[in-house]
Amino acid sequence: DQQVKQNSPSLSVQEGRISILNCDYTNSMFDYFLWYKKYPAEGPTFLISISSIKDKNEDGRFTVFLNKSAKHLSLHIVPSQPGDSAVYFCAASGADTGNQFYFGTGTSLTVIP
Amino acid sequence: NAGVTQTPKFRVLKTGQSMTLLCAQDMNHEYMYWYRQDPGMGLRLIHYSVGEGTTAKGEVPDGYNVSRLKKQNFLLGLESAAPSQTSVYFCASSYSIPPGPQYFGPGTRLLVL
């Protein structure tokens, strides 16, 4: 059963606007979350992370929000740029997952110039 | 630094053939991982290693074997390839167990006929 879910396979946003990518999880033991960005024919690259002791982490144009009660996190990109067009994966780990991250299925973001 | 490299980039196998995928990292990371990515499934962990000479099973280990004879290399073997193993394989490494972020290679696309 998928423990980390990204229910939107794709998202299109106009350049300069905000992109919001969502991720839901089922395991209440997850306490660390990451977002990765992936371009075609390349491996995923780490983007931003958040631990469960925080509800927000910001890095430049990228902000991740965590809502533990709803088991939901989101990635905000402001302003969106054409170079942000990629597939975004969220991943989670926790005390009961040992050395493993569990990944979502990804959301393909297209930023329209 | 090359980071994480994978060999080969693309391979076609016939059912029953064997092959080895090579992953190398030059970041002196202790931890290394093999994932497979399938459409609609996200990344799933096959096997991982927490140090030279150690290996452990991930989420989907059946049909694969691994070895970590040197710290910088992590090999993934398919003894008897099956069409269900058609996938894109990613290797990753990290300096710590989760929650440390993982650094991914560019991937190996494998087609089993």
pLDDT in tens, B61-104: 999 999 999 999 999 999 999 999 999 999 999 987 666 789 99
**Which tens digits make up the pLDDT trace of A59-104?**
999 999 999 999 999 999 999 999 999 999 999 988 777 768 899 9
pLDDT confidence of residue A97 = 75
Best interface-test mutation with A: which of B30, B31, B35, B37 has the largest number of A CBs within 10 A?
Answer: B37
pLDDT confidence of residue B95 = 85
> Does A106 sit within 8 Å of B98, measured CB to CB?
no
> Does B50 sit within 8 Å of A32, measured CB to CB?
no
Nearest to A43 among B56, B58, B90 (CB): B90
Residue B90 makes CB contacts below 8 A (sequence gap 6+) with: A43, A44, B6, B34, B35, B36, B37, B43, B104, B105, B107, B108
Mean pLDDT of B35-51: 91
- Tell me which chain A residue has its CA closest to the CA of residue B37: A105
d(CA A7, CA A45): 21
pLDDT confidence of residue B99 = 65
pLDDT-above-90 percentage for chain B: 84
d(CA B87, CA B61): 14
DSSP B5: E
- In sequence order, what DSSP letters do the residues of A37-84 get, joined into one string? EE-TTS--EEEEEEETT-SEEEETTEEEEEETTTTEEEEEESS--GGG
Task: Compute the mean pLDDT over every residue in chain B, rounded to the nearest whole number.
Answer: 93
Distance from CA of A68 to the nearest CA of B (A): 17
> Does B50 sit within 8 Å of A41, measured CB to CB?
no
pLDDT confidence of residue A99 = 67
pLDDT confidence of residue B37 = 94
A2 touches chain B (CB under 8 A): yes
> Does B98 sit within 8 Å of A99, measured CB to CB?
yes
> Which residues of chain B make contact with A50, given a CB cutoff of 8 A?
none
> Does B31 sit within 8 Å of A4, measured CB to CB?
no
Residue B15 has pLDDT above 70, yes or no: yes
b or e along B43-81 (b: 16 or more beta carbons within 10 Å of the residue's beta carbon)?
bbbbbbbbeeeebeebebbeebebebeebebbbbebeeb
**Count of pairs with CB atoms under 8 A, one residue in A, one in B:** 61
**Strands of B65-67's sheet, edge to edge?**
B4-7, B19-25, B73-78, B65-67
d(CA A75, CA A39): 17
DSSP B104: E
A1 touches chain B (CB under 8 A): no
Nearest to B43 among A31, A32, A89 (CB): A89
> Does B43 sit within 8 Å of A99, measured CB to CB?
no
Q: Which helix (H) or strand (E) holds B80?
A: none
pLDDT-above-70 percentage for chain B: 96
Task: Compute the mean pLDDT over every residue in chain A, rounded to the nearest whole number.
Answer: 94
